[in-house]
Amino acid sequence: MHVRTSRSPRGDGLLYRLYMGRLRRELDDAIHPRHVAMILDGNRRWARAFGQTTAHGHRAGAEKIHEFLTWCDDAGIGVVTLYLLSTDNLSGRDSDELGALIEIIGELADELSTVRDWRVQHVGSREGLPENLLRALDTAQERGTGRSGLHINLAVGYGGRREIADAVRRIVHRHAETGGTLDELADLVTPSTIAEHLYTGGQPDPDLVIRTSGEQRLSDFMLWQSAHSEFYFVEALGPDLREVDFLRALRDFSRRQRRFGQ
């Protein structure tokens, strides 16, 4: 695991534009991640800093997500996973804030499924999610059938430990349906089999995990999939994330030597 923290240069004048141009040139022949996972954190702190409601902060974060996905798509990244609502959030957030956040996520899923040829997939447990949100997620996913563009995983009702437990549970249930023995089951529980039964089964693991707001922890996000990921932490709060932060993350990723234990 490699960790890097970044502070973004401020301003949007001539020097900033020159710096952006230099970054883009450096990335022309660089190796890009196939899969980027994002924890867009700091919406509530951003709202407090501007004297706004928490819901306003979450809406600003949702708008930034649209920008972020456009940057990823333009950079040729194939898969992006966004951590939007954890299993802990479902029980730990104020009911008014949670209600507003659920509405915003539903609207975001609907919007993203109409952009370019993007594909949306819900990754997470359906347990505890309201029916209106589940309908929005299902509709967004169905809309992307047959498309081949950017694959967007919306981690909603998601917990990394819950995901691993669910994967093992699926393996056990399917084995029981075939009438297999316990010894045979023990042989089935391998890293590759568990990976196949995760919410993201069949997808590449994230090469790069980005988190905003200066926090340096995973918060139960993609615990299994991020075993060999590179990590990049940005000081900016979620709604303040800028393209320069993203480009610097890509540049940093391209410079790392990924040995995978070798």
Radius of gyration of the chain measured on its C-alpha atoms: 19
Q: Is 21 domain-assigned?
A: no
Share of the chain above pLDDT 70, in %: 94
- If one counts the domains in the chain, the total is 1
Mean pLDDT, residues 135-164? 97
How far CA 250 is from CA of 2, 14, 24, 241, 256, in Å, comes to: 14, 22, 10, 14, 10
Verify whether residue 43 is a known catalytic residue. Answer: no
Q: Is 90 domain-assigned?
A: yes
Verify whether residue 132 is a known catalytic residue. Answer: no
Give 119's contacts (C-beta < 8 A, 6+ positions apart): 113, 141, 144, 147, 148, 149, 150, 151, 152
Q: Is 17 domain-assigned?
A: no
Class of residue 262 by CB neighbours under 10 A (exposed 0-12, middle 13-18, buried 19+): exposed
pLDDT reported for residue 2: 46
How far out from the chain centre does Cα 86 lie?
11
Packing angle of the helix pair 243-255, 14-26 (nearest 10 deg): 30
- Tens of pLDDT along 12-36? 688 888 998 999 999 998 999 999 9
Residue 159, amino acid: G
183 pLDDT band, cuts 50/70/90, is confident
> Residue 170 in contact with residue 98, Cβ under 8 Å?
no
Show the tokens assigned to 44. 């509530």
Catalytic residue among 43, 73, 89, 245: 89
Q: Quick one: which of 216, 207, 160 has its CA closest to 3?
A: 216
Q: Is 15 domain-assigned?
A: no
CATH code, domain with 175? 3.40.1180.10
Show the tokens assigned to 91. 């029980």
127 pLDDT band, cuts 50/70/90, is very high
Q: Is 25 domain-assigned?
A: no
pTM of the model: 0.91
Show the tokens assigned to 193. 């089999």
Give the count of beta carbons closer than 10 Å to the beta carbon of residue 128.
11
- Tens of pLDDT along 33-48? 999 999 999 999 999 9
CA distance 262 to 244: 32
DSSP state, 9? P
Order across the sheet with 151-158: list the strands.
2-6, 230-234, 208-211, 35-39, 79-86, 151-158, 119-123
Containing structural domain, residue 180: 2-8+32-255
Q: Is 22 domain-assigned?
A: no
Catalytic residue among 12, 28, 29, 41: 41
Q: Is 95 domain-assigned?
A: yes
Residue 217, amino acid: R
pLDDT at 5 over 70: no
Q: Is 27 domain-assigned?
A: no
pLDDT reported for residue 9: 46
